[in-house]
Amino acid sequence: MQSSIGSNVGAVYLFVYGTLKTGHINHALLRTSSAVYICEAKTEASCTLINLGLYPGLITSGNTEVKGEIWYVDAALLERLDTFENVSNGLFTRKSIAVQEFVPNVQSYVWHFNGCSEHATKGDYQGEFPTISSGNWDDACGGL
């Protein structure tokens, strides 16, 4: 475990909710010497989790608590993860998010799904992608 949490320039807390979580297909991306697992957590009941097939998308509006994990990552890993999440292509945007059961006033970030169709760009996801009403990717992923 990293002994200097909070002192690394550019390091952030990330809330991961899908394939980056422990036990999932892309978790190896977080298994580096610079990433530190902090705790299980969930968002406030202000999100929507949708099933995009091979991975979920979190939308920072709605009424669902999304379940996930908090990780502390340095700037270099954060840049690699932004690339993995297609931030530069606009599929996801990294945003600040309120997370329950985490230190108050400590900012955490999440990748918000921006969409991939005309409906998504207008914020109209209803009917386009199945909603994961439990807020837990584990309930919908079939082991991915």
CATH number of domain containing 61: 3.10.490.10
Number of domains in the chain: 1
The boundaries of the domain holding residue 61 are 12-139
pTM: 0.83
Q: For 128-140, write each residue's pLDDT tens digit.
A: 788 999 999 999 8
Residue 5 in any domain: the answer is no
Residue 75 in any domain: the answer is yes
Residue 6 in any domain: the answer is no
Residue 52 in any domain: the answer is yes
Contact 137, 23 (CB under 8 A): no
Band (53; pLDDT cuts 50, 70, 90): confident
Contact 48, 61 (CB under 8 A): yes
Residue 95 in any domain: the answer is yes
